[in-house]
Amino acid sequence: MAEPTVAARAIEGRGPWRLVYERLRRDPAAVVSALTIVAIVLIALAAPLIASAVGHTPSTQYRDIGLSPAGIPVGPNGTFWFGTDSLGRDVFIRVVYGTRISLLAGVVSSVLAVLVGVVIGLAAGYFGGVVDTVLSRIMDVVLSLPFLVFAIALVSVAGPSLTISIGVIAFFSWASVGRIVRGQTLSLKETEYVEAARSLGAGDLRIMFVEILPNVLAPVIVYATLLIPGAIVFEATLSFLGLGVIPPTPTWGNMLSDSIAFYRVAWWFVVFPGAALLVTTLAFNLLGDSVRDAVNPHRGVGRESK
Amino acid sequence: MIRLLARRLAFALLVMWVVATGVFALYFVAPNNVARTIAGRQATEQTVELVRRRLGLDQPIPVQYVRFLGRLARGDLGYSFVNSQPVSEVIRRDLPVTASLALGAAIIWLAIGIGAGSLAATRPGSAADRVVTGASLFFYSMPTFLLGQIFLLLLFYRLTVAGYPIFPPSGYVPLTEDPAQWARHLILPWLTLALVTAATYARLTRGAMLDVLGEDYIRTARAKGISEGRITYRHALRSAIAPVITQFGIDVGILLGGAVVTEQVFGLPGLGREAVQAITTEDLPVIMGIALLASLFVVVASIVVDLCYALVDPRVRVR
């Protein structure tokens, strides 16, 4: 009686994305990192709820209870779980709110970078010739700019803000996506199915976005997952240098910038925002690695049997 | 070889031209009035006008643009708005700090990164491989400024409180003044920069080595009875190292233009810290000068890398 079910399972059609999903589900690193990211997103969404449950706001200065009589920030206790900062603000609530900025900057700038990179990469690879030469040179130039120094130059003129940060991060990230997409498009446009589409009268745009794009999505998704943690670190770095989101809006970067002056008296300035930042980037990088392995299961593993 | 060099030089010039034009554009987008900034807050309208004319700011923009490029070609980066010091002098003062930091760290991260990466690649799946993979994921995810602060907290502060003041928290001593103090002040910055960067190199080396070790010529070498050590280092690492060298060129180039974060955390008076500080004083010439210099370093580093390839690998020369 067991035979038919086995046969039924064997012929069950499983698309490539389904296979990737199955592999990810069996990979403990992928499951743990995905759950961590879900938790981080929930914390970001629920930040106002958490704040009202605790009864503190991110920028209120609790000078009477949050600072010692000598004006020294208090360490973690029952009222302030992560202690207070030099102005008597609740570090826990600020870390919770910082989640929002980090995720927002990381995801939005990565999405922008992917959109621009995909369009430019497709155009360069598909049209070839002069278009390719010009677009490829532009990508080369962007990739060889010392981005942090340039971010400083841009911010010095435009003034620091979240929008500028996101723009700067996207500007320095799209070119690597573009390069990947261009390479894939170059080989895909010579395939027979593209030729078939063309002989059926499909226009350039249709071929680029309907025929070729779905087939370059896998590497793009892998790369995008790895782009997000990079963008989160970039935003935190800009905030840390005072070039990102302007205080008093809490970000992990500007909290860690405050802590430079205070780590001797208040280790919690460094430890809590630092841990939040590190856990977030680790989770995204771990997930990115897992997705990459799930998309290319043979890459690098078991090629060499000694 | 000559053609390769010519093509690389042409691209370098293109990059520098784009960067210079961008910098020029930024001056004009800048909301603050340059002449007024230089003349000072109390200056009369006549003085501001005089400064404008002296700087050539009354000329049409294309004329100013050509003059700007001309000055750059002669290496004239202009004068600081704040103290009228030539920007080139500011750079000459700060560059040794940044170079000490970047080059010292580069040696450490190359050794750790390539060493750990090839160790892991030759023993895939082993405990050593898992440790290397885990550690490189950890440091790869670690923001530089966070690692710097963790070092400050643990290795400077805790050790000093415990009675072992081995590491200073900040400051710089020139190499020519006292080599021992120079190194002592740079150890924590070196480690910070090196560990974060080494993670990328370990990942790169491991991936490239794993690919190469699956090649037929490695099996041939093994069949010929060549020792594993020789296969790893003479055969596999040699061809796996190409992407690592490319990355190295970019990284060293970028860092020589200012190891911004590390300098900021450890209070090292280098180019990166200078640029960050110049923002608060709105000292555009200093920021733009450093940005131009940084791009120049990246461009030169990538040319050097390409030439190294061409010298080592005959296939590159033919292309």
- pLDDT surpassing 50 at residue A13: yes
Mean pLDDT for all residues in chain A: 84
- pLDDT surpassing 50 at residue B319: no
Confidence of residue B314 (pLDDT cuts 50, 70, 90): low
* pTM as predicted: 0.87
All residues of chain B having their beta carbon less than 8 Å from the beta carbon of residue A277 are 143, 146
Substitution target in A27, A156, A240, A258 with the highest count of B β-carbons within 10 Å is: A156
Confidence of residue B79 (pLDDT cuts 50, 70, 90): confident
Among B300, B301, B278, which Cα is nearest to B77's?
B278
Candidates A149, A259, A286; nearest CB to B258? A149
Q: What is the pLDDT of residues B14-23, one digit of tens each?
A: 888 888 888 8
Confidence of residue B197 (pLDDT cuts 50, 70, 90): very high
Positive or negative: CA dihedral A25, A28, A30, A32: positive
Instruction: Give the count of beta carbons closer than 10 Å to the beta carbon of residue A108.
Output: 19
Under 8 Å CB pairs connecting chains A and B tally to 144
Q: Is A265 on the interface with B (CB under 8 A)?
A: no
> Inter-chain contact B141–A281, Cβ cutoff 8 Å?
yes
All residues of chain B having their beta carbon less than 8 Å from the beta carbon of residue A154 are 26
Q: What is the pLDDT of residues A138-167, one digit of tens each?
A: 898 888 788 888 888 888 788 888 998 999
Q: Are A147 and B298 in contact (CB under 8 A)?
A: no
Find the residue in B nearest to A281 (Cα): B141
- What is the C-alpha to C-alpha distance for residues A21 and A12, in angstroms, rounded to an integer? 15
Nearest C-alpha of chain A: how many angstroms from B56? Answer: 21
pLDDT of residue A301: 43
All residues of chain B having their beta carbon less than 8 Å from the beta carbon of residue A302 are 124
Phi, psi dihedral angles at A40 (to 5 degrees): -65, -40
Confidence of residue A5 (pLDDT cuts 50, 70, 90): low
Q: Is A242 on the interface with B (CB under 8 A)?
A: yes
Q: Which residue has the higher pLDDT, B278 or A120?
A: A120
> Inter-chain contact B288–A153, Cβ cutoff 8 Å?
yes
Q: Looking at A10-19, A151-160, A252-261, B134-143, which range is the least confident one?
A: A10-19
Maximum C-alpha span of chain B: 85
> Inter-chain contact B298–A241, Cβ cutoff 8 Å?
no
Candidates B145, B210, B272; nearest CB to A256? B145
Q: What is the pLDDT of residues B270-307, one digit of tens each?
A: 999 998 888 888 788 888 889 889 888 988 888 888 88
Coil/strand/helix, residue A70: coil
Candidates B18, B149, B275; nearest CB to A256? B149
Find the residue in B nearest to A156 (Cα): B279
Strand locations in chain B, DSSP E?
none
- What is the C-alpha to C-alpha distance for residues B68 and B78, in angstroms, rounded to an integer? 9
B284 Ramachandran zone, left/alpha/beta (phi>0; psi -120 to 50): alpha
- Who contacts A202 (Cβ-Cβ below 8 Å, separation ≥6)? A210, A211
- What is the C-alpha to C-alpha distance for residues A179 and A65, in angstroms, rounded to an integer? 55
Q: What is the pLDDT of residues A33-85, one digit of tens each?
A: 999 999 999 999 988 888 888 777 787 777 777 777 777 787 787 777 787 87
> Inter-chain contact B149–A303, Cβ cutoff 8 Å?
no
Nearest C-alpha of chain A: how many angstroms from B283? Answer: 9
pLDDT of residue B29: 66
> Inter-chain contact B143–A233, Cβ cutoff 8 Å?
yes
